[in-house]
Amino acid sequence: MKQKSIGRVETQKFTIDGELKLSSGKTLSNVDIAYETYGELNAAKTNAILVCHALTGDAHAAGWHAGDVKPGWWEMVIGPGKALDTDKFFIICSNVLGGCKGSTGPSSINPETNKEYALDFPLITIQDMVHAQKKLIDHLGISNLLAVIGGSMGGMQALQWIVSYPKMVRKASIIATTGRSSPQQIAFNEVGRQSIITDINWQNGQYYDKEKSPDSGLAIARMIGHITYLSDDSMYMKFGRDLQDKDEISYDFTTDFQVESYLHHQGETFVKRFDANTYLYITKAVDYFDLSVGGSLAEGLKDVSCKVQVISVDSDWLYPADQSKDLLAALQSNDVDVIYNEVKSNYGHDAFLLENGQMNFLLSNFLRENVVDELMETDVPTISIDTEIKEAAAMMIHNEVTHLPVVDDDKVLLGIVTAWDLSKSIAEDKHELSDIMTKDVRYCKNGDSIEYIARQMKKFNISCLPVVDDDFKLEGTITTDEISHLISNL
């Protein structure tokens, strides 16, 4: 399908009813959440995907606002024919709590004072951001999300979602992020914050009604942050040691190199769209982020129940691949259905915003639905607990199967008999089915992913699994032969 833009979009606003309780124990009232949606929510409300933005992002993830010179920040993967196909999915993106692009944050009006909150705004966490997003999702009438997807700080939010609301998310794509901020990451954020706080125009955060804002400090914070988003290779490719508008070095402190000019430009444009106090609050929330329990990520992620995709970038030194692999190991130790992908790129941390082909490929493959329901055999022979062993053997031969589910009159699964069990009955001179059948049966549900089931079959050396519903009634079976056929045709 040809990829297209979703065209003109508008930002909407949702106001949370009542007070929003924060991790600190403090509360906020009259909280606004700015958000955008793309595509249509289906009648069953099962096609909703929440996209979480990074540190300086906003709700405008795709499409065009009136007067825009460029589209939303993740236009490359959101829209008809793209990985987040708006002809199939209902995409939601909200500006985080504490933000400055429509959601309540330090630059918003405090209803108690009718002035900007400034430093009266309470400290927030990634968990608070997700709590506010949950209120929005409830408001939209969505009880389950098909997926939560995010990169960098957005990846932290996606992780927090599957920890805080594990039964509400079917899939999560965690991109270029970590399960807990490292000392180095905290250090970079603190340098950025200090550049703002020490700006003479910051005035302890009370600059909103003043002629000057801490633009210099905020610009420097952006310059520092932007360096961490790039890689050494990408900077060499883009700038080398080329001079800026001159033929030779100046031997003074004016701008000599193109990379210097680029960073100045990044800082200057950033202050026009972002609030300095918001930068302080959001970077602090990132610093606080730590999903480990007792120092263990595995313990912190023990309740995760959805399918997870962990994506790293090989040239990312802000959130290096090793931190993604730590997440992978923690999830695997909890037997979570998880896959790992690594983007090959010279772009560094920003690759998830720039590598069009790789990101569309990885996300579209992850979102593709290959579940047990597509492959399971529903017309399967079954036997009762009273069936004679000889009769069970005859049924296997007649139906050319090696497994027979044992069910009661209501089709509730009681066990399973295999060809191996029948062979054992002869060797051990057993005559009752209950003496040879496997009672502690491994099983699956029709919504389980094929990838997960295949790994379970390999892990436990199983060639057939019964499929049961929530009442443990048999719905069918799935075999390794059926899975192999699917894989060979992908």
Q: Which of 85, 128, 275, 316 is catalytic?
A: 316
Q: Shortest CA distance to 275 belongs to which of 438, 75, 55?
A: 55
Q: How many degrees, rounded to 5, is the angle at CA 205 between CA 200 and CA 210? A: 70
Dihedral over Cα of 265, 262, 93, 325: its sign = negative
Annotated active-site residue 423? The verdict is: no
DSSP label at residue 481 = H
Residues paired with 90 in a beta bridge? 48
Annotated active-site residue 143? The verdict is: no
DSSP 241-282: T-BSS-SS--SSSS--BHHHHHHHHHHHHHTTT--HHHHHHH
Q: How far apart are CA 281 and CA 287, in angstroms?
A: 10
Q: Which of 53, 131, 349, 403 is catalytic?
A: 349
Q: Which residue is associated with the tokens 């802000």?
A: 318
337 CB-near residues (< 8 Å, 6+ apart): 306, 307, 308, 448, 449, 451, 452, 455
Q: Which of 94, 108, 152, 324 is catalytic?
A: 152
Cβ neighbour number for residue 213 with a 10 Å cutoff: 19
Q: Shortest CA distance to 59 belongs to which of 89, 31, 8, 93?
A: 93
Annotated active-site residue 449? The verdict is: no
Residues noted as catalytic: 152, 316, 349
